Amino acid sequence: MSSLEISSSCFNQETKLPLSPPLVEGSAFEPLEKDVNEVEEKPKDIIKFTAEKLSVDEVSQLVTSPLCGAISLFVGTTRNNFEGKKVISLEYEAYLPMAENEVRKICSVLRQKWPVRHIAVFHRLGLVPVSEASIIIAVSSAHRAASLEAVSYAIDTLKAKVPIWKKEMYEESSSSWKRNKECFWATSD
């Protein structure tokens, strides 16, 4: 027999594996009291503006659901350069009542367009050093396409409609307030 024949014959052998481990009384493998389909879970929109450092793990956990097979995330971080200048940090300000209201509207639109379960939008305010997150958007859904599309729509719409301002702090002690080019109220120069 040639090595090719040996390899192909190995694939023809039937291998029997248990579908699940045997149950042992008191083990972690015992069936849950309630069937997963019986879980009633109200969809959540979690919105937070904070001066505290953002945690991807925390935000991801907030949208986790046994009903969902997908969690999509967008994490915006401070990069160390802009147009040849060395950036040392960003500073964010927001008009909170309007910003929160606009983010709620975005969540509502996401729910109209895609079958999503939970949505979390966390935005940092104040100084955000290089490599730290300034925004985390997390969306959970039964399947990946809905959460991926929803996250993309959410960040694009947030940048266009939510009153958040960003100031870039440069190494040479200068700074510059930046407007989002997507912002609907921005005028073209």
User: Please, what are the domains in the chain?
Assistant: 43-178 (3.90.1170.40)
Own/partner long-range contacts of 11-16 (Cβ < 8 Å, ≥24 apart): none
State mean pLDDT over 1-6.
42
Tens digits of per-residue pLDDT, 49-90? Answer: 999 999 999 999 999 999 999 999 999 999 999 989 999 999
Q: Is 166 annotated as a binding residue?
A: yes
Res 24: pLDDT: 47
Q: Is 143 annotated as a binding residue?
A: yes
Q: Is the dihedral of CA 171, 82, 167, 119 positive or negative?
A: negative
Tens digits of per-residue pLDDT, 144-183? Answer: 999 999 999 999 999 999 999 999 999 877 676 666 666 5
Res 140: pLDDT: 98
Q: Is 144 annotated as a binding residue?
A: yes
Res 172: pLDDT: 78
Q: Is this model's pTM higher than 0.85 or not? A: no
Instruction: Specify the length of the chain in residues.
Output: 189
Tokens at residue 187, please?
Answer: 């005028």
Tens digits of per-residue pLDDT, 89-145? Answer: 999 999 999 999 999 999 999 999 999 999 999 999 999 999 999 999 999 999 999
Tens digits of per-residue pLDDT, 16-60? Answer: 444 544 444 444 444 455 555 545 789 999 999 999 999 999 999
Q: How confident is the model at residue 15 (pLDDT cuts 50, 70, 90)?
A: very low
* 144 alpha-carbon distance from chain centroid: 12
Q: Is 168 annotated as a binding residue?
A: yes
Q: Is 105 annotated as a binding residue?
A: no
Position 184 pLDDT exceeds 70: no
Mean pLDDT of the chain: 83
User: If you write DSSP's letter for every residue of 71-103 in order, what string do you get?
Assistant: EEEEEEE--SEETTEEEEEEEEEE-HHHHHHHH
Res 2: pLDDT: 44
Q: How confident is the model at residue 14 (pLDDT cuts 50, 70, 90)?
A: very low
Q: Is 118 annotated as a binding residue?
A: no
Res 11: pLDDT: 39
Amino acid occupying residue 28 = A
